[in-house]
Amino acid sequence: MRNETGVADAAMDAAIDAVIDAAIQEVNHRAHGRMSDRFRRVRRQSQAIAEPLSVEDCCVQSMPDASPIKWHLAHATWFFETFILERFEDGFHAFHPQFRMLYNSYYEGVGDKFPRPQRGLLTRPSLDEVQAYRADIDHRMLLLIDALEAGEDAASAGHQRLHAHLAEFMELLELGLQHEQQHQELMLTDIKHLLSLNPLKPAYQEMPESLRIAAPVQLPLDWHRIGAGVVEIGHAGPGFCFDNEKPRHRQFVEAYQCASRLVNNAEYRAFIEAGGYRDAALWLSEGWEWKRQLKLEYPIYWQRDEAGGWREFTEYGLQPLEPYRAAVHLSYYEADAYARWAGARLLTEAEWEHAVGRLQGRGREFFGVAWQWTSSSYAPYAGYVAPAGAVGEYNGKFMVNQYVLRGSSSATPLNHARLTYRNFFPAYARWQATGIRLARTG
Amino acid sequence: MRNETGVADAAMDAAIDAVIDAAIQEVNHRAHGRMSDRFRRVRRQSQAIAEPLSVEDCCVQSMPDASPIKWHLAHATWFFETFILERFEDGFHAFHPQFRMLYNSYYEGVGDKFPRPQRGLLTRPSLDEVQAYRADIDHRMLLLIDALEAGEDAASAGHQRLHAHLAEFMELLELGLQHEQQHQELMLTDIKHLLSLNPLKPAYQEMPESLRIAAPVQLPLDWHRIGAGVVEIGHAGPGFCFDNEKPRHRQFVEAYQCASRLVNNAEYRAFIEAGGYRDAALWLSEGWEWKRQLKLEYPIYWQRDEAGGWREFTEYGLQPLEPYRAAVHLSYYEADAYARWAGARLLTEAEWEHAVGRLQGRGREFFGVAWQWTSSSYAPYAGYVAPAGAVGEYNGKFMVNQYVLRGSSSATPLNHARLTYRNFFPAYARWQATGIRLARTG
Amino acid sequence: MRNETGVADAAMDAAIDAVIDAAIQEVNHRAHGRMSDRFRRVRRQSQAIAEPLSVEDCCVQSMPDASPIKWHLAHATWFFETFILERFEDGFHAFHPQFRMLYNSYYEGVGDKFPRPQRGLLTRPSLDEVQAYRADIDHRMLLLIDALEAGEDAASAGHQRLHAHLAEFMELLELGLQHEQQHQELMLTDIKHLLSLNPLKPAYQEMPESLRIAAPVQLPLDWHRIGAGVVEIGHAGPGFCFDNEKPRHRQFVEAYQCASRLVNNAEYRAFIEAGGYRDAALWLSEGWEWKRQLKLEYPIYWQRDEAGGWREFTEYGLQPLEPYRAAVHLSYYEADAYARWAGARLLTEAEWEHAVGRLQGRGREFFGVAWQWTSSSYAPYAGYVAPAGAVGEYNGKFMVNQYVLRGSSSATPLNHARLTYRNFFPAYARWQATGIRLARTG
Amino acid sequence: MRNETGVADAAMDAAIDAVIDAAIQEVNHRAHGRMSDRFRRVRRQSQAIAEPLSVEDCCVQSMPDASPIKWHLAHATWFFETFILERFEDGFHAFHPQFRMLYNSYYEGVGDKFPRPQRGLLTRPSLDEVQAYRADIDHRMLLLIDALEAGEDAASAGHQRLHAHLAEFMELLELGLQHEQQHQELMLTDIKHLLSLNPLKPAYQEMPESLRIAAPVQLPLDWHRIGAGVVEIGHAGPGFCFDNEKPRHRQFVEAYQCASRLVNNAEYRAFIEAGGYRDAALWLSEGWEWKRQLKLEYPIYWQRDEAGGWREFTEYGLQPLEPYRAAVHLSYYEADAYARWAGARLLTEAEWEHAVGRLQGRGREFFGVAWQWTSSSYAPYAGYVAPAGAVGEYNGKFMVNQYVLRGSSSATPLNHARLTYRNFFPAYARWQATGIRLARTG
């Protein structure tokens, strides 16, 4: 049977190899490459994401959970200005006196912030001004980085500070870049949400020729059994990780089985057509109420076409539903209900992280396809300590009523995924590229 | 004392004369001028209003009660396309198949409409596309109008229809232009609201030199006594009016006194500083609750400055509060509370309309300064009949829980005001240029 | 045809006569009867209304617009304690220190008040305690009244005050009794609303034998034409009226026609079955939206039975819909939509008041059947002045966004109706016994 | 120092002994006692809780999260009728045809249910009728139980069923009793909430003499260190447990320290007075927003007195705050913020359950004082399987966005607590007797 899907397997394996290669290259880059190059590359990528969009597309906010593209572009820049330049730049001056407040997302330690649900009201500063902001901060950041890379003497007071706190500077720089990469994914999901609400159903970009001819093929669904035991999870270094991935610590997992791939559209469609959205017994009570109030009958970006088939709103506009593509944009409630219907359950995050290591090569779609809901509530690891200062608000204060997602999606920047990465969203979130990997106990 | 304000008086008189002159010219124009010129002039004025704005400014919606500038530009065009071209154009084709739905404001008789609170989500069609829409409809409208003006034979089926229903065509054309003028005022008030929510407090336009040097002077507040009797109000023609101004009919008014001018900022400030916003006895119960929930202490566009003075957000950005300018952007609740505090009341609309005729030359600020709240609920005149078809939804269906405003404001197009004009808004509306003219009984 | 309904006509006429007789007797009573008797009678009537109810029925609040029966009983008592005893009783002491706040409905001038939507939380004071409160205040009120009636010398300081302000005392006493009568009607409509929400559909009382055998018969619908002219409306005395009925003043009414009776259930049912609730063209825009959000398809107390017929929840529980009984419990939106469907409109309050005088004997159901929505917004009459002090809050502060209802309903105390009476409710109110009298212009 | 608190220690030890004794007696009872006695005892206890309350107190619902006492009394009865009698009684007939719907809490598998937020509208059935319902079901249940205990032959069809499914009957019977005990605690917390909203601050009962003279004394706060390792948690039997306590399974806990007692009022007051409610850095982001919107500055039942001290609303009415009593009625957000302020954290549920076993005798207030928030989200244990049928909805469907509480409170029935018991509430819940036990890592 494997033979029948050989071509796709090969394509998939190649894709996985590509991810791994990219990761390795990145590690090399970080070790040996020039930080200034990396800085430029990451910053340029945000611009590239905004490139296909009009000035209007970049300004509007589709819901309180999403932000305008222009705001993302400015906020990622604000992070560098506020947490690095303000601390390390000699003779620092704010680019604009009100940007500190306007583009502060949620850092109470930094002071006032503009209310999140009103970000779409900011027609000014214009996109041009935000681009000027980016250029200015880039220039000033690169002066610092270049100076370091050139091994310059620490003549000025600023540079003295820089040298005295080099490790901290490098950490914040890396955090700023990782932060911008997180926003790159949000830019893609937020603009998708905005465009989906437009009756014209505009495409973010044209579908590339390659995708048009090569539909995903059906992968078999295998169950991999993994024995009970004490496992270690969490980041052990070297290399960057977010604070919430630490410390590496022990957890006990009972014996379980892990699905070899994600649930695909054909399977999720079968759930719908079997009455999955009408059977309370399949749903968490809160999920059932959520579904009832929103009158949901299928995933957020699906719609029935006239002929009784299904279409899905994608970055390429409205497209026929691909049966063998992983089902995405599912809430935790939907993922949990599907799993119950399928006689299975979601993985815990410890099970997930442990499985990836155990199944190397035998498990698929762990990365680059869809974030995978786990049944683990987002909570501090045993021994977790939030960093000091406003940066300590980055992750820790969100550790309640959210669920951990593992892996990465097609919208995640290539070198941003990580085995120990803990993404998190509330159970009702559907606007992210979130999917389902099944598990069974025993 | 009058002498001291002589210069300002003269300026004011000149302004009033200008309004009257413009009105007369307009009447002449309508009688003798070319309709095609008038069409061009009105349409061009909408473009002129959008001129100082960025593409982003034109796209965003600040609240459900307001609409994006781009939407106004498209909707006013939709009115001509839907109610005139669709009926009279030979071989009519829709400019875009979805615009009929996208830019339908509230006409149930026309079919589906895009939900009002989501108008700001329409980043597409772009402003460019909306401008192309305007150009196309202008062109097609002018073909019809030009043909009429050229006295062309009615060769085509379309032109035959046109000639057979000439009166109806002319009425709808006039209605379309008046409609666009109404939206011109809304464009100015909606953009003001949007910009006011921006912490940068951007100006819609620069204050002209003339305004900068000539502040309004203090006008005396006189009371004009008007005797009881049966009066006639409502439009008697000739000339255009909206359906809600008809029929002309009789009302009885008891003897009353009418203030010679509007309440000014200095007076309204005295009300605030006397505790007007903290004394329940001054307010309608519903207004008190409204104020309490929104935690209001002064008008929407006022703010205290550091020195204990007041500033007002205007189309020229944040400016020192002008004491002798009419207080504007007041809700009905605020207007009513102020009047009670001042030992007076608001006029009914019959009193207002009757007073203007009686006080010619002795009453000021009836037009061109601020819409004046009346205590009259918006209701059909005795004998009112709504026009047939979807156009009948223009006014009649809003005749509940709104209050009539009379006169016109500084944002009203010059030749749009009219003695019998009935503007209307809900009692909580503050985003229009609405002010207070006091009255007393007896 | 009239002959066929002769019996019913006779019954109806007799009923009308009864109302008139009662009114006359009451007037006589007031003139010649003992005030102490009247006080006892009105107070006893409130007890009688609560009589069929359980302690639980008396405690619960079904919605913010309604109040618990127990609260009504206490509040009507509070009115006498606060506005009369506190002012006129020698050595006044509050029955309970917190009742002043607990049972204050909306008088800001009296101080704090317990939030209206939470009245149902007051399981304490118990119904027994409220009855004790009533008994105590009754006793103390009667001491004052009796002293007056006995022509006692004004020995004590309290009695001196009483004699010095006799007119004021008598006015407040009458206001207190009228106030209690208003609450008697509200008790009936509020308990009906509460019981209607109970799936057991309990009856407030058993249907009397007389009603069970004598269904209303069909009355013809005639139109009475009334000519244009200046009319006088408002209370001219003698006798009690509320402040909002004054002053008597002039209004002009154009010629109109007034329906001889109210719209009945059979007619309203025809409106429903003709699609009245599905045709936007019939509704005020705000009413259509209200109806859409509440998903209404028929009046609040109607329900379809299994056989496709209709039942109505009444004080006697769920009953078959009586075709020739006046349709009641309609909102202003429904009344207005029905009138439009029927090619008619609602009366203004001036038309209504004028018609009653003109149609004596020829018009029916003006009183005692259903309050009749007028198209008049609740506003002060020309020359209206609210009384001084907290009592001035009785009516005046509600004069916005409400509509005037005229006549009286089957729930109105017999001697409480009055030609000039102005009842008022917001347009969405359906829990009162509100019906439709049609009018036509010309 | 221990000596100084010797008396209190002795009292405390005695209390603990009492709990343990009661538990042992109960186990004996269950093993050897008559089930019919136990049934009577539990059922009688619900009546005893309602005893001090008026009919009105029993009817009203203070918020959607709470239920009326009368509803609790009926619902606990419904459980026996629906899940036991309907299945096992020969010739079963419903006590009332609509009770199945009226008193269904949340079992979708049972059919319709009356909406939770409207439970307070049910003035009918009356409390008397509910008591009759209880008596009837008690009688019928005891017929079944007595028959079993008498070792009767299974003559009737019903008894045949009973004998054939004896284990299932006994399990459901036990579940029904445990279920009623859960509602006994809710009755106490729900009535407390209702009474707290009453400005009269009525007491549920009089404070017993014993409590009046013996205030709690200060206990030292010790930290007990517990080493890392694989621990087993969950119910291993014998004896009853809820489905969510199974299966017993392994978890790994890193080394930690557990506080010897709960946080007391004096400590929590210090947190408040140190500005704990004003420092965003101490709060979870969601908790901060929750606190901000509700404008909270201290716990739900605390209030400042005139002298700057604190009072607490208790079952004995408003009382001076006892400094050395455990702080209760805290939300998860407050518990978490306090812990952060104190340089500590909450325990996980595995840590909690493990600690109780390890600290026997050295740790206090694990039971009978306050439910203790853990940082563990309520989730299925590895290997959890929900029971089949509607009873399967008892626990499983609530396993999202809630947090586990361990121990028991002063409101928990004496023999209802259990080492493995998992209580759960949403993070905002404050109306339960919920407190804080601190932990530290390492």
Nearest Cα to D264, choosing from D325, D219, D221, D308? Answer: D325
Residue A20 has pLDDT above 90, yes or no: no
Q: Taking a C-beta distance cutoff of 8 angstroms, is the pair B190, B69 a contact?
A: yes
pLDDT of res. A308: 87
How many Å apart are CA A159 and CA C177, to the nearest integer?
A: 86
pLDDT higher than 50, residue D12: no
Chains D and A touch (3+ CB pairs under 8 A): yes
Specify burial of residue A195 (Cβ count, 10 A radius: 0-12, 13-18, 19+): buried
| A204-218, A388-402, B364-378, B424-438: segment of lowest average pLDDT | A204-218
Contact between B256 and B349 under an 8 Å Cβ cutoff? The reply is no
Confidence of residue D347 (pLDDT cuts 50, 70, 90): very high
Peptide bond into D247 cis (omega under 30): yes
Would you place residue D64 in the very low, low, confident or very high pLDDT band (cuts 50, 70, 90)?
very high
Query: For B311-353, how does the pLDDT look when each residue is reduced to its tens digit (9 = 90+)?
Result: 999 999 999 999 999 999 999 999 999 999 999 999 999 999 9
Closest CA to A77 of A119, A131, A125: A131
Across the range A420-426, mean pLDDT stands at 98
Interface residue C234 vs chain D (CB under 8 A): no
- Sequence letter at residue A103: Y
- State the Cα–Cα distance between residues D168 and D180, nearest whole angstrom: 18
Name chain D contacts of A281, Cβ cutoff 8 Å.
108-109, 392-393
DSSP state of C69: H
> What one-letter code names the amino acid at C160?
Q
Assess C205–D contact: CB distance below 8 Å, yes or no. no
Residue A29 confidence class, pLDDT cut points 50, 70, 90 = low
Please list every residue in chain D whose beta carbon sits closer than 8 Å to the beta carbon of residue C195: 123-124
Question: What contacts 24+ positions apart, CB below 8 Å, involve B417-421?
Answer: B417/B19, B417/B23, B417/B367, B417/B368, B418/B235, B418/B241, B418/B245, B419/B353, B419/B356, B419/B357, B420/B233, B420/B234, B420/B235, B420/B241, B420/B245, B420/B353, B421/B241, B421/B242, B421/B245
Find tokens 């605020």 and name the residue.
Answer: B334
CB contacts, 8 Å: B133 with chain A: none
Could you tell me which residues are beta bridge partners of residue C373? C405
Nearest to A196 by CA among B280, D65, B88, B121: B121
Of B255, B98, C94, C276, nearest to A199 (Cα)? B98
How far, in Å, are C30, C88, C145, C154, C394 from residue C166 at the CA level? 16, 10, 11, 11, 21
Does residue A141 contact residue A40 with C-beta atoms inside 8 Å? no
Residue A157 has pLDDT above 80, yes or no: no
Q: Which two tokens stand for residue D62?
A: 């203070």
Average pLDDT, chain C: 91
Whether residues C198 and D123 touch (CB distance < 8 A) is answered with yes
CB contact under 8 A, A332 and D380: no
The per-residue pLDDT for D159 is: 73
Question: With a cut of 50, which residues of chain B have pLDDT below it?
Answer: 1-15, 17
Over residues D227-279, the pLDDT tens digits come to 999 999 999 878 899 999 999 999 999 999 999 999 999 999 999 999 999 99
Question: Is a pLDDT exceeding 60 seen at residue A272?
Answer: yes
- As for the ipTM of the complex, it is 0.92
Does the beta-carbon distance from B98 to A55 stay under 8 Å?
Answer: no
Does D135 lie at the interface with C, CB-CB under 8 angstroms?
Answer: no
Q: Collapsing DSSP states into helix, strand and coil, what is residue C434?
A: strand
- Token pair for A9: 């397997």
Task: Output the CA torsion sign for A34, A38, A43, A49.
Answer: positive
pLDDT in tens, A121-133: 999 999 999 999 9
pLDDT at B153: 59
Secondary structure (H, E, C), chain A: CHHHHHHHHHHHHHHHHHHHHHHHHHHHHHHHCCHHHHHHHHHHHHHHHHCCCCCCCCCCCCCCCCCCHHHHHHHHHHHHHHHHHHHHCCCCCCCCCCHHHHCCCCCHHHCCCCCHHHHHHCCCCCHHHHHHHHHHHHHHHHHHHHHHHCCCCCCCHHHHHHHHCHHHHHHHHHHHHHHHHHHHHHHHHHHHHHHHCCCCCCCCCCCCHHHHHCCCCCCCCCEEEECCEEEEECCCCCCCCCHHHCCCEEEEECCEEEECCCCEHHHHHHHHHCCHHHCHHHCCHHHHHHHHHHCCCCCCCEEECCCCCEEEEECCEEEECCCCCECCCCCHHHHHHHHHHCCCEECCHHHHHHHHHHCCCCCCCCCCECEEEEEEECCCCCCCCCCCCHHHHCCHHHCCCCEEEECCECCCCHHHCCCCCCEEECCCCCCCCEECCEEEEC
Q: Which of C262, C270, C274 is nearest to C221 (CA)?
A: C262
Residue A291 has pLDDT above 70, yes or no: yes
Can you state the percent helix, strand and coil of chain B, rounding each to 5?
Answer: 45, 15, 40
Q: Is pLDDT of D27 > 60? A: no
Q: Is the pLDDT of residue C346 over 80?
A: yes
Provide the 10 A C-beta neighbour count for residue A324: 16
In angstroms, the separation between the Cα of residue A102 and the nearest Cα of chain B is 8
User: Touch between chain D and chain C (3+ CB pairs, < 8 Å)?
Assistant: yes
Q: What phi, psi does C182 have (nearest 5°)? A: -60, -40
Q: What is the predicted pLDDT for the residue at A228?
A: 97
Q: With 80 as the cut, is the pLDDT of residue D302 above it? A: yes
Q: Name the residue of chain D whose CA is nearest to C203's CA.
A: D124
Contact D120 C199 (CB under 8 A): no
Share of chain C above pLDDT 90, in %: 81
Measured in degrees and rounded to the nearest 5, phi and psi for residue D345 equal: -155, 175
| Phi then psi dihedrals of residue B86, to 5 deg | -60, -30
CATH entry, C10-196, from 1.20.120, 2.60.40, 1.10.490, 3.40.50: 1.20.120
Helix axes C127-149, C69-80, angle to 10 degrees: 30
Nearest one of B196, B90, B171, B178 to B430, comparing CA atoms: B196
Q: Which CATH class is domain A209-441?
A: alpha beta
Q: What is the mean pLDDT of chain A?
A: 91
pLDDT at residue number D1: 29
Q: If we measure between CA atoms, which residue out of A44, A260, A38, A63 comes closest to residue A134?
A: A44
**Chain CA centroid to CA A271, Å:** 26
Number of Cβ within 10 Å of residue C174's Cβ equals 16
Q: Would you kindly state where each structural domain of chain A is located, as residue ranges?
A: 32-196, 209-441
Largest CA distance in chain B: 73
Alpha carbon distance C417, C16 (integer Å): 13
Our CA angle for A48, A49, A52, nearest 5°, is 85
Nearest to C121 among D118, D121, D197 (CB): D197
Measured CA to CA, the distance from residue C364 to residue C368 in angstroms comes to 10
- Which residue out of C58, C61, C104, C121 would a mutagenesis test of the D interface target, given it has the greatest number of D Cβ atoms within 10 Å? C121
The residue among C164, C283, C274, C262 whose CA lies nearest residue C220 is C262
Of C354-358, D115-119, D153-157, D227-231, the one with minimum mean pLDDT is D153-157
Starting at the edge strand found earlier in the chain, the sheet holding D310-314 runs D302-304, D310-314, D317-320
CB A341 within 8 A of CB A274: yes
pLDDT at D380 over 80: yes
CATH classification code of C221-441: 3.90.1580.10
Mind telling me how many Å the CA of B404 is from chain A's nearest CA?
30
Residues of chain D in contact with residue C120, where contact means CB-CB under 8 angstroms, are: 60, 120
* C398 contacts in chain B (CB < 8 Å): 284-286
d(CA B16, CA B366): 10
Average pLDDT over residues C266-291: 98
pLDDT confidence of residue A438: 98
What's the pTM value of the predicted model, to 2 decimals? Answer: 0.93
Distances (CA, A) of B128 to A62, B70, B125, C247, C312: 21, 10, 8, 60, 58
- B201 chain-A contacts, CB cut-off 8 A: none
Q: pLDDT at residue C157 above 50?
A: yes
Predicted local confidence at residue C22, as pLDDT: 56
Q: What is the CA radius of gyration of chain A?
A: 23
Spatial distance between the Cα atoms of C263 and C439, rounded to a whole number of angstroms: 11
Minimal CA separation from C414 to chain B, in Å: 30
Reported as a single tens digit per residue, the pLDDT across C382-430 is 999 999 988 999 999 999 999 999 999 999 998 899 999 999 999 999 9
Of D330, D333, D327, which Cα lies nearest the Cα of D290? D333
Q: What is the mean pLDDT of residues A52-72?
A: 98
Pairwise CB contact (< 8 Å): B194 & A127? no
